[in-house]
Amino acid sequence: MDHYKLVIRGEHALSGETFVSGGKNTSVAVIPAALLCSDVCVIENLPDIEDVRVLKRILAHLGAKVEFDAEHNRMTIDPRGVTTCSVPFQYSQQMRASYYLMGALLGRCGEAEVGYPGGCDIGSRPIDQHIKGFSMLGVQIDEYSGMMNLKGELRGSIINFDVVTVGGTINVMLAAVKARGNTILMNAAREPHVVDLANFLNSMGANIKGAGTDTIRIRGVEKLHGGSYTVIPDQIETGTLMIAAAATRGDVAIHGAIPTHMDALTAKLLEMGVSVTSMDDVIWVRVKRGHRAIRLSTQEYPGFPTDLQQPMSALLTRANGHSEVHENIYDNRFKHLDEMRRMGAKVTISGRTAYIEGVPQLRGAPVIATDLRGGAALVIAGLMADGVTEIYNPAFIARGYEHLEQKLSALGAQVRREDAE
């Protein structure tokens, strides 16, 4: 249990302007990718979140010189001092995205030893497609005592993923940029952070075409140089702020966003009766009446993102009517709704589907965050609820949201940290 809790007094409409931080999902891929470079990389717009700090510690363990200027959201990575390609379990178990070190170290060293990844408990998240891709590149893989040992001379190949896999697409891309010959990734993920990673690698001298489509073509290169790169804004933080504004029936302008990345969420909010407009990098969310119930189904990009299912399903607990939420990506992503039952939510869960009957009011209650996006959903529930909500284990939220409580407070929310008893 964390040493602090979040305390929220609900029923305060959010109003004003806020700014989106750099993308968490991009950052945890770009930082390992810097290991592939032969000179210093400067990465701008990195969020000051725990996953970024964990990666900083891992790269330092490997021998890289890493400086993180949290005030200016800038990390400088000099990989020239890397002396080992082994990531101990005590590091890898701290975050799911530690598996990207497999692809990055294979590309740099031709070998990698990485502990099984940790992260949030949201169900089965196998890495079989990562292993399949590495094997097709000529990598021999051995597993023992919670560690994976990968070694081989990387050779280009045609890889057809059995299912769309964001992590697998990124991991195999990291290895393939330094492989001999050409690699084609078929049935590849199209998420914005896949595109952003490809843009980063190309800016350092890689030859990647087709990122953002389901077929990515990679011509291997011998060397990547250093340079400077700015990561894209966080798609999921943008969506969380949009949902929070809608949940409190507020009026919020979100700056620094990429509106086209939010099309799937915007469509569902409009369906609920929420006003969503955008211009350039600003999204305005306004609510003047109650929300309509909807049906929601998570899909790979450009469909509705699984990472926004939990915040969105929290919003639906107050919608007028019966909503259905189908979770098609992960098999254990409704734990937050179990917690929200303590707050008066009416929810029935059957397999990967949640049936939600909207209620006029939620009541503040003590709840426990069990994962990153589920924690954000509980924050949204607390913002809607009558009375005081106490969220325990809020460190999950800090893993992926930069200063979320400060941003919400600046918009009029009553949220603060207190020592956990």
SS3 sequence of the chain: CCCEEEEEECCCCCEEEEECCECHHHHHHHHHHHHHECCCEEEECCCCCHHHHHHHHHHHHHCCEEEEEHHHCEEEEEHHHCCCCEECHHHHCCCHHHHHHHHHHHHHHCEEEEECCCCCCCCCCCCHHHHHHHHHCCCEEEEECCEEEEECCCECCEEECCCCCHHHHHHHHHHHCCCECEEEEECCCCCHHHHHHHHHHHHCCCEEECECECEEEEECCCCECCEEEECCECHHHHHHHHHHHHHCCCEEEEECCCHHHHHHHHHHHHHHCCEEEEECCEEEEECCCCCECCEEEECCCCCECHHHHHHHHHHHCCCECEEEEECCCCCCCCHHHHHHHHHCCEEEEECCEEEEECCCCCECCEEECCCHHHHHHHHHHHHHCECEEEEECCHHHHCCCCCHHHHHHHCCCEEEEEECC
Query: Tens of pLDDT along 66-88?
Result: 999 999 999 999 999 999 999 98
Query: Tens of pLDDT along 166-194?
Result: 999 999 999 999 999 999 999 999 999 99
Q: Are residues 297 and 312 in the same domain?
A: yes
pLDDT at 289 over 80: yes
pLDDT at 115 over 60: yes
Residue where one domain finishes, among candidates 209, 230, 251: 230
Q: Are residues 195 and 329 in the same domain?
A: no
pLDDT at 120 over 50: no
* Residue 28, both tokens: 């945890």
**Domain span holding position 44:** 24-230
Residue where one domain finishes, among candidates 230, 256, 276: 230
| Confidence at residue 226, expressed as pLDDT on a 0 to 100 scale | 97
Q: Please state the rounded mean pLDDT for residues 219-242.
A: 98
pLDDT at 91 over 90: no
Q: Are residues 256 and 194 in the same domain?
A: no
Q: Please state the rounded mean pLDDT for residues 316-343.
A: 95
Residues with Cβ within 8 Å of 327's Cβ and at least 6 positions away in sequence, in order, are: 298, 306, 309, 333, 334, 352, 353, 354
Q: Are residues 163 and 63 in the same domain?
A: yes
Please state, rounded to an integer, the average pLDDT across all residues of the chain.
Answer: 95
Q: Are residues 139 and 37 in the same domain?
A: yes
**What angle, 0 to 180 degrees and rounded to 10, lies between the N-to-C axes of helices 100-109 and 166-176?**
10
pLDDT at 197 over 80: yes
| Confidence at residue 1, expressed as pLDDT on a 0 to 100 scale | 64
| Confidence at residue 290, expressed as pLDDT on a 0 to 100 scale | 87
Q: Are residues 217 and 310 in the same domain?
A: no
Query: Is the CB of residue 198 less than 8 Å from the CB of residue 218?
Result: no
Q: Are residues 199 and 259 in the same domain?
A: no
Q: Are residues 193 and 324 in the same domain?
A: no
Percent of the chain with pLDDT over 70: 98
| Structural domains counted in the chain | 2
Q: Are residues 241 and 203 in the same domain?
A: no
Q: Are residues 178 and 310 in the same domain?
A: no
CA separation for the pair 358, 361 (Å, rounded): 9
> In CATH, what number is assigned to the domain containing residue 93?
3.65.10.10
| Confidence at residue 118, expressed as pLDDT on a 0 to 100 scale | 60
Residue of 37, 41, 109, 120 with catalytic role: 120
Q: Are residues 95 and 169 in the same domain?
A: yes
Residue where one domain finishes, among candidates 230, 246, 281: 230
Q: Active site includes 120?
A: yes
Residues with Cβ within 8 Å of 365's Cβ and at least 6 positions away in sequence, in order, are: 342, 343, 385, 389, 390
61 pLDDT tier (thresholds 50, 70, 90): very high
| Confidence at residue 121, expressed as pLDDT on a 0 to 100 scale | 46
Q: Say if residue 281 is exposed, middle or buried (CB neighbours under 10 Å; 0-12, 13-18, 19+).
A: middle
Beta bridge partners, 148, equal 114, 143
Return the closest-CA partner of residue 314 out of 389, 225, 258: 389
Q: Please state the rounded mean pLDDT for residues 232-250.
A: 98
Q: Are residues 60 and 123 in the same domain?
A: yes
pLDDT at 122 over 50: no
